[in-house]
Structure 1
Amino acid sequence: MTAVTDHTEHAEHADGTEPAGRVDPPGDDADGSGGGAWDDGLIARRVADSGVFDVEDDPYAHEHELHDADAELVARLDALRELVGLSRARVDGAALAEAGHVLDQAAARRRLSHRHTVVAIAGATGSGKSTLFNALAGVPLSETGLRRPTTSAPIACSWTDGAAGLLDRLGIPGRLRRRPLQGQGPQGVDAPLKGLVLVDLPDHDSAAVAHREQVDRILELVDAVIWVVDPEKYADAMLHERYLRPLAGHAEVTFVVLNQVDRLPGEAADLVLDDLRRLLDEDGIALGEHGEPGATVLSLSALTGDGVDELRESLDQFTREQGAAARRIEADIDAAALRLRPVYATGRKSGLSEDAREEFTDRLADAVGAEAAGQAAERAWRRNANKACGTPWLRLWHWCEGRRTPSATLTVRPVPSDEEATARQRVEHAVRIVGERASAGLPGPWGQAVREAATRGAEGLPEALDDLAVSAGSPPPRLPRPGWWPVAVLAQISMTIVQVIGGLWLLGQIIGVLDPNLGVPVLLMLCGIVGGPCVEWSCRMAAKGPARRYGLDAERRLREAAAGCGRARVLDPVAAELLRYREVREQYVKVTG
């Protein structure tokens, strides 16, 4: 342990500030970008790829990319926060817990240093992760040996100052914080692994439960992970099912290292590496090959140093880009959005169609008796027309009938209880149908909210429709009359007068007052007797159209009144819930990017 104590990290304040007296090396800005204008990962990649530097390239291109990526990340976080806020009253809290956890962890990480990249080395017992940790640091910082488990607590090594806040977040005490070999970690701008914070984790398959709990806790907080596997356990089901498969969406911040290839003879290392790539592909992990974003897969031997430099170069480029923290947060958002998909998306069309609205209106109109009210209004209009345009003798007969049975015109038939129950059932059925139609295609919580809104609106709706039927369905005190009505009344009066004149003339001849001449008085009486019913029949035929229009107008008024009542009590609350769901869907689309 002498080497460990010799390279113990210098004391740092809890808030991540440097101890007094420490001076940043020349060229290292306060923001970690470096004093040189060309200290950016994008330019570094161009130089590495081509070996030629183009002076016309934008020296701040990588910083622009970081700014754009950060703006997109902030927009997604804001959308996720808005999504959680809009959903609290509708979605179970357990379903939103992961999204809330992602927001909390993202806020905590973004408050800390963006110049550092926290990378954890994880692996199974005997995979050689501690040996790899020491090889990257250039000095034995983590204990290795045959005793299992060897690593009992996470050990951190920081290549750059100012990482105390990040290590405090990981819960790594000061006694387990190290610094690499001085030759491995200079503070200059072009220093390799500048900004790297490497954490050696306990074995994820350790027999000690506390060790596994530490691994799970820290894996949720780091920016990237190096999974170290050996030729014997690279296909371990526990590794793939518990860690790699659930974290398939975090491929861009994942390294998978096949260690101990020095133990494999000949081409066996390539065969094992190909099989490892196959397993990762089956896990759903995208492999970063041919310039595509994805996991980095390497083979090496931490014991002999073969391939370690290649891993160190990949880590150096990875840390210089300074985008691992943002990519980790984006991957966490993607994972949360994927788990929330059943809550916000079903892949089916949803909403209340115009046909469903019209059907609901028809059912309410049927329950309130709009059609029957229209037919009653039509009959009332025709009776009034017949009464006004009929012969005086017929009206006299109706008047006598009315005098004989006056109670028949004043009795109001009460609504039978079975009819009232049927109307209530029709209203409840209409509300249930419209709730089911509106909630069709919605995820479970939102469909339930729509149905509950429809049910709440149905309370008191039958009584309101009954009052509406009395107020809107009652006929006016004076029915409207068409323009030809006075002409018909005048013609009927003329026919009656002709009939009376002919009768009086004939009576005068009978009693001898007038000269005998039966032709004229008989003709007059016949004209009056035949003309009166003809006028009445003509008026009845002419009244059919206006009576029908009057009945349809009465039916329309009652239907519109019932539709307005149903819209205010049921459709509007349902539409409000659908609008709320549409808003959260828009936020969910923003969250998914």
Structure 2
Amino acid sequence: MTQQVEDQWADGLIARRAPDPGETTTPEDEEPQEDDLEFEPIGGPYVGAVRGRLDALRELVGLSRTRIDAQALAEAGRVLDEASARQRLSARHTVVAVAGATGSGKSTLFNALARSQISDTGLRRPTTGAPIACSWTDGAAGLLDRLGIPGRLRRRPLDSAGTDLEGLVLVDLPDLDSAVVSHRQAADRVLALVDAIVWVVDPEKYADAVLHERYLRPLAGHAEVSFVVLNQVDRLPGEAADQVLDDLRRLLDEDGMALGEHGEPGATVLSVSALTGKGVGELRELLGRFVQERGAAARRLAADVDAAAADLRPLYVADGRSGLDERARKDFADRLAAAVGASAAGEAAEREWQRNAQHACGTPWLRLWRWLDRLCSPAVQRTRADAEVEEEVTARQRVEQAVRMVADEASAGLPAPWAQAVRESAVRGAEGLPEALDELAVREELERGTSPRPPWWPAAVLAQMVMTGIQVAGGLWLLGQIVGVLQPGLIVPALVMLGGIVGGPLVEWACAVAARGPGRRYGQETERRLREAAAGCGRARVLDPVATELLRYREVREQYAAVAGPG
């Protein structure tokens, strides 16, 4: 009786054994429970280069979340999630999808590899409406759960025990060009999760644009986990099969898919006839060796990381050298110094020094004349308030221009998100910068106070007093002679008075010449202090935040380099 039941189920259509009499059966639409056999999860972190690249990708995503749109990081996040999910599942199994367009004979090839009539075939299109899985060994339930394949669509071949395909999980996908949208979506979902792909093409549609542009070209980087099979070669006469196969290789090369020829890593390309069995044994042998290597999951993951890195490249790789050099920093400091009026302040300090020298060493009569001149000639200039308003507006414009120029120079060549972050940091730092520079200028002026006087100024003042005294004495002497109080003798008092008159301007001129050098140095020192103070303010508010953003970019650029790998 048991033998009869076993014969009843020995058609290769289900993945479970027939129940013995008296046993309860599992409903068809529920997932059957596989034997609790030990399987080998990848367990722990990946090893080797894959582990380092995954860690770098995880760090890269973490550093970029505040700078890059979440949608741009979605694919990288998906790769990390799928890597974590695959890591927890069996490493003894390799999931291989059989994908192809309508009429390519992929279901027939799927059955030929399984040596069982598992997937429906026929002229009606579409024939395969949902993914069907065939597993040669137990322990693949977690992998099939991840693919979303229910228990009623999981099969076991008749010769699953002791074959060279142990560990293989073969999945027959719906047609890639199916007229039913849900079929294409199911195929795309599974293609993103399997470890390897067998692309099945036929002599009529091997150059189909949908297949190449939508699948083979985007997945060209997955060549090491790809098998491209030209099916139905029994329909080609003579050497036509070789010609079509060569043309297929040419198209794959144009798609950017490396071909595994002459020992080079890449896609395996071969011709078969699933109907007659030609080449199927060779494909089974290739798949057997491929599965026994147990490296498909890591290679698929490495290819996914490559694809994610290629998509992220415009977000992390600068076109040219970025950053701020000494010239840019000096130009920014010069513009802030111009905005705060450092040169004007230095010139004003120099004029103040010379004016003080004139006040201290000038003749009393000249100072009196200048005072009367100012008193008798009212100023026709604009009010001080209007002048200050205009100066403030001009200074603000200069500051804004300086910040804009340094931000543009710092962000030149950066990828768009990081260039925007640099500009935003500069703009944030520039808020309140004009007011801070104004306060700085006022504070510097208050700290400077009145200009100091050199040691020789008292001697100059004394000399002017002597010259003035000589003038007064000579004048009184002449006046006394004129009125008859003193004896006549105009030459001597006139010479005395003339000496005082000429000596006063000479002393003033000598003092002005002597004060020119110290006055210039005093003005230059005033300008230097104000320039350094303005540069320090600009550095703290603008340059340091910009440098921080550039440092963050360099960090993520290094992480991206680790993700992209040596290539």
TM-score (norm 1): 0.82
* Superposition CA RMSD, Å: 3.5
Deviation string, structure 1 residues 439-464 (Cα, Å, up to 9, x no partner) = 22222222222222222333322222
Q: CA deviation at 1:161?
A: 2.4
Residues 333-372 of structure 1: matches in 2 within 5 Å? 333-372=305-344
Q: Does residue 1:133 correspond to 2:149, yes or no? A: no
SS of the equivalent of 1:194 reads coil
Aligned to 2:156: 179
Confirm or deny that 1:74 pairs with 2:45.
no
Alignment of 1:98-497 (within 5 A): 98-182=75-159, 185-186=161-162, 192-394=164-366, 413-416=384-387, 417-474=389-446, 476-493=448-465, 495=467
Cα offset for 1:18? 6.0
Q: Report deviation, 1:280.
A: 0.7
CA distance in 1, matches of 2:490, 2:405: 76
Partner of 2:21: none
Q: Deviation at 1:258? A: 0.8
Secondary structure, aligned partner of 1:574? helix
Q: Which runs of 5+ in 2 are unaligned?
A: 1-7, 19-25
User: Aligned pair in 2 of structure 1 residues 497, 412: CA closer, same or farther (>3 Å)?
Assistant: farther
Q: Deviations over 1:395-427 (max 9, x none)?
A: 56668889x79x99xx99335233333332222
Q: Which residue of 1 aligns with 2:22?
A: none
C-alpha separation between the residues in 1 aligned to 2:211 and 2:249? Answer: 14
State whether structure 2 residue 35 is matched by structure 1 residue 19: yes
User: Deviation digits for residues 37-56 of structure 1, max 9, x if unmatched?
Assistant: xxxxxxxxxxxxxxxxxxxx
Q: 1:140 to 1:15 in 2, by over 3 A?
A: closer
CA contact (8 A) 1:3 1:140 kept: no
Aligned AA (1:19): D
Offset at residue 3 of structure 1 (A)? 4.7
| Counterpart AA for 2:89 | L
Stretch moving more, 149-158 or 224-233 = 149-158
Hey, what does 2:72 align to over in structure 1?
95
TM-score by length of 2: 0.85
How far, CA to CA, are the matches of 1:294 and 1:90 in structure 2? 36
Q: Which moved more, 1:388-397 or 1:82-91?
A: 388-397
Deviations 1:172-199 (A, max 9, x none): 12222222333x542xxxx522322111
Residues 15 and 102 from structure 1, CA distance in 2 versus in 1: closer, same or farther, beyond 3 angstroms? farther
d(CA) in 2 for partners of 1:263, 1:488 = 118
Name the % identity.
Answer: 70
Counterparts of 2:32 and 2:524, CA distance in 1? 81
Read off the aligned partner of 1:159 and give its amino acid letter: W
Offset of 1:564 from its aligned partner? 2.5
* CA deviation after TM superposition for structure 1 residue 377, in Å: 0.9
**Number of aligned positions between the proteins:** 545
Listed as ranges, the gaps of 5+ residues in structure 1 are 25-29, 34-65
Q: Counterpart of 1:544?
A: 516
Report the secondary structure of 1:414's partner residue: helix
The equivalent of 2:4 in structure 1 is none
Task: State the one-letter code of the partner of 2:430.
Answer: A
For the residue of structure 2 that corresponds to 1:298, the secondary structure is strand
**Are 1:85 and 2:62 matched, yes or no?**
yes
Cα separation, 2, equivalents of 1:390 and 1:420: 36
Q: Cα deviation per residue 1:528-559 (whole Å; 9 max; x = unaligned)?
A: 44444333212211211111111122122222
1:91/1:237 Cα in 2 relative to 1: closer, same or farther (>3 Å)?
same
CA contact (8 A) 2:167 2:291 kept: yes
Counterparts of 1:476 and 1:83, CA distance in 2: 51
- CA–CA distance in 2 between the matches of 1:17 and 1:587? 43
Residue identity in the other structure for 1:8? A
What is the deviation of 1:351? 2.3
Structure 2 CA distance for aligned equivalents of residues 196 and 511 of structure 1: 138
One-letter amino acid matched to 1:413: R
- TM-fit CA distance, 1:253: 0.9
